[in-house]
Amino acid sequence: MRQRAIVFSVALTIFAIDRLTKIWVDQNLSAFDTRVVIPGFFNLIHSENTGMAFSILADASSQVRKVVLVGFSSVVLLFVAGMLWQAAPSPHRAQKVALTLVFGGAIGNLYDRVSRGSVTDFLDFYIGTYHWATFNVADAAITAGAILLGLEMLLQRDVKKAEA
């Protein structure tokens, strides 16, 4: 039970950091502000994404977006919570960390979708004219968790092949 408390506390900490950074952006950057942090590489900007990753569904009607995005996000959140509940007592540390990151980030973005109808994005990385899609702390946690989970699955597959 203690391990479950730890992983869910870490997920809630990710959610809190995501909320605090989005609140800061809402209070300190207008829609047209750009704060150069590292010239030629990193800016802070304030954008509102009504769609999902890479603005998918951003042009759909608000009712369709809300049903699809909140519904999809809720299902994914419940699925990940179940996986995390089962994984928490297991010795697979990478899996626990990955699921914790995904869960914490998913809570952050779902909160925004339900409470505001959009997600605040503000991290803008670029090189020259190439810009990565603007994202937030929740997106970074979800992405890092998904990559870690994918790597862990590949490594487990390789271990099973070697054992066979």
User: Catalytic residues, which ones?
Assistant: 121, 139
Nearest to 110 by CA among 121, 100, 119, 102: 119
Measure the CA–CA gap between 28 and 50, rounded to whole angstroms.
20
Nearest to 132 by CA among 46, 47, 49, 41: 41
Residues 6+ apart with CB under 8 A from 93: none
Contacts 24+ apart (CB under 8 A), 148-151: 148/94, 148/97, 148/98, 148/101, 149/94, 149/95, 149/98, 149/99, 149/102, 151/94
